[in-house]
Amino acid sequence: MEQEIQKHSKIILFYNPNSGSGVFKNNLDYIIGRCQDAGYIVVPIRAAHGTVIADYLAEVSQRGIEAEFRQIIAAGGDGTINVCVNAMIQHDIHLPLAILPAGTANDFAYYFNLSGDIERMMDIALGHNYTYADVGKVNDRYFINVAAMGQVVDVSQKTDPTLKNTIGILAYYLKGLSEVPNLKPIKVTLTTPEKVYREKMYFMVVMNGKSAGGFKKISPDSEINDGLLDVMLFRNMTLFEMPGVFMKILQGSHSSSKRVLHFQTSSLKIESECDLPTDIDGEHGEKLPLSFSVLHNRLKIFTLEDNMGEEQA
């Protein structure tokens, strides 16, 4: 028994002090205290920039010490979680992952209905309930929630970080609306195992989760562990039609619109003669062509309720 406790006696804590309003760093002592009270040694890693997370997990892999850790706790927004998951896959780390949502939108955490209260976050992180989650792959990178392309979906890249941290999700909406007069439809070809689509589109998203950029219902029927990606393409439309489609996006009913192409697939290739802006979990994405696939049930996420048996079946 003592050997088993020794094997899993540590917790890796990756935290981004700049995520969201930065309030997380004020709770760092509380988080470490909760872990220590539960009998674990915390290895805190400040992951504000660069390759800190990847470098540390590379060391864990090279030294063969993964068994010393109970889990990874990642505190930050979707960008921080994305970096952590990419590093885990790159270095073949299979530790369970606890998420402390501390960013602006926290779309990945939203899927699991994780609490915004720090005490409840730690109850979940130190608990024993898990849910499996798929990871999307686009070219040589991985994404947890969404890959997007088009003239609107790079909003998070253009929005001033100070503005995002001050007024939150509203900043995405305001910036997105400012782009509307500049929109031009782009020809794309989407190739799946089931069908080839040739479309003119304004923007599109390839979803693993349900929400993106603070839009809570952009893909309301997505399941994060079904082995499939949800593709949502917004077709060429007039300026007069845009407000109606925008309202449907807010309501989560846009997939029924004739101006929206929606389908599920396990793999996808996107091609275009144009150089489209792309975005992966809120960060600059890859250049076209894009090839998508799914790593089914690659992550084990700490959640409020245990869903492991149901999702393994």
| Domain residue ranges in the chain | 2-127, 142-294
pLDDT at 60 over 70: yes
Per-residue model confidence (pLDDT) at position 234: 83
> Does residue 147 or residue 271 have the better pLDDT?
271
- Determine contact, residues 276/282, Cβ cutoff 8 Å: no
Average pLDDT over residues 110-123: 88
Which stretch of 40-49, 88-97, 214-223 has the lowest confidence by average pLDDT? 214-223
| 28 token code pair | 């760092």
Average pLDDT over residues 258-271: 92
For the chain, the helix, strand and coil percentages under 3-state DSSP, each to the nearest 5: 35, 30, 35
Average pLDDT over residues 191-211: 88
pLDDT at 86 over 60: yes
Per-residue model confidence (pLDDT) at position 202: 82
Beta strands in 61-129, from DSSP E residues, in sequence order: 69-76, 97-101
Q: Three-state DSSP class for 88? A: helix
Strand partners, 235: 201
pLDDT at 307 over 80: no
pLDDT at 150 over 90: no
Query: DSSP secondary-structure letter at 66?
Result: G
- The architecture (CATH level 2) of 2-127 comes to 3-Layer(aba) Sandwich (3.40)
> Does residue 66 or residue 147 have the better pLDDT?
66
What residues contact residue 124 under an 8 Å CB cut-off, 6+ apart?
98, 114, 115, 302, 303, 304
* Closest-CA residue to 110 (of 132, 78, 142): 78
Per-residue model confidence (pLDDT) at position 139: 96
> Does residue 31 or residue 20 have the better pLDDT?
31
pLDDT at 271 over 70: yes
CATH topology of domain 142-294: Tumour Suppressor Smad4 (2.60.200)
Per-residue model confidence (pLDDT) at position 167: 46
Query: DSSP secondary-structure letter at 212?
Result: B
Question: What is the number of helices (H) and of strands (E) in the chain?
Answer: 11, 15
Per-residue model confidence (pLDDT) at position 193: 96
What band does 222 get if pLDDT is binned at 50, 70 and 90?
confident
Q: CA-to-CA distance for 78 and 294, rounded, in angstroms?
A: 18
pTM of the full predicted structure? Answer: 0.85
Per-residue model confidence (pLDDT) at position 44: 95
Per-residue model confidence (pLDDT) at position 267: 97
Amino acid at 193: P
pLDDT at 177 over 70: no
pLDDT at 205 over 50: yes
